[in-house]
């Protein structure tokens, strides 16, 4: 397939709800790395019980899943050492959301519910807002922003330990 395809290939990896599912997803992600897949799409959306629906459950998306999206992105960024491009998906509505998703390790963001509620212009608002946010943080481009919150979290315990000694 790699020889025949002309467009970048992103594999959408389903969200996980147990350690067993997580192991399965991370095996898939390692395979993606080995097989030269261009990137993975990580949705925070997940199956949730909803008695008002005929099947009794459905796929939850939108703002409510954004925390899960950030966590997934951060987990996969760490596990792959940033070697695999990640598209964050689930609950992205604003430039701040996109900024946080990229800082957690995403290379790009995708949105669906946000488009339904805000209309097509949301893409332009996100792009403009992202430039403003990066500029206010002294960040020149998204490559520099990518994974920054992961790095800062990893450094944080050392900083705290150092300040505890100083006091
Ligand atoms: C109406 C609707 C249809 C969807 N259809 C699909 C689909 O066919 N295949 C798929 O992988 N995800 C599908 N999704 C899930 C979205 O791709 C995405 O994972 C989810 O909506 C989370 O992103 P969001 O919070 O920006 O909407 C659908 C979501 C919605 C709301």
Q: 48-74, pLDDT tens digit by residue?
A: 898 998 999 999 999 999 999 999 999
Q: Where are the domains of the chain?
A: 10-166
Question: What's the average model confidence in pLDDT over 18-46?
Answer: 95
| Nearest ligand 1 atom to alpha carbon 66 | 25
Please choose from 10, 11, 13, 45 the residue to mutate so as to test ligand 1's pocket, defined by most ligand atoms within 8 A of CB: 45
Helix (H), strand (E) at residue 87 = strand 86-89
Ligand 1: residue whose CA is nearest its atom 23: 90
What homologous superfamily is domain 10-166 in, according to CATH? Answer: Aldolase class I (3.20.20.70)
pTM for this predicted structure? 0.88
Straight-line distance from the first to the last Cα atom of the chain, in angstroms, rounded to the nearest whole number: 60
* Residue 20 Cα to chain centre, angstroms: 21
Residue 12 in this model has a pLDDT that exceeds 60:
yes
CA of 112 relative to ligand 1 center, distance in Å: 6
d(CA 115, CA 91) in angstroms, rounded, equals 11
Helix (H), strand (E) at residue 50 = none
């Amino acid at each position: 397939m790699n020889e025949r395809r002309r467009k970048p290939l992103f594999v959408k990896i389903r969200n996980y709800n147990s350690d067993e599912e997580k192991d399965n997803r991370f095996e898939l992600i390692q395979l993606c790395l080995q097989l030269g897949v261009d990137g993975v799409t990580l949705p925070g959306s997940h199956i949730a019980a909803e008695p008002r629906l005929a099947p009794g459950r459905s796929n939850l998306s939108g703002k409510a899943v954004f925390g899960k999206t950030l966590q997934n992105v951060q987990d996969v960024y760490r596990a792959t050492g940033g070697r695999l491009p990640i598209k964050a998906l689930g609950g992205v509505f604003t430039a701040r959301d996109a900024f946080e998703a990229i800082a957690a390790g995403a290379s790009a963001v995708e949105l669906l519910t946000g488009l339904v509620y805000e209309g097509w212009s949301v893409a332009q608002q996100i792009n403009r807002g992202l430039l403003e946010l990066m500029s206010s943080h002294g960040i020149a481009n998204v490559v520099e922003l990518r994974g920054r919150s992961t790095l800062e979290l990893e450094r944080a315990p050392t900083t705290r330990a150092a300040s505890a000694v100083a006091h």
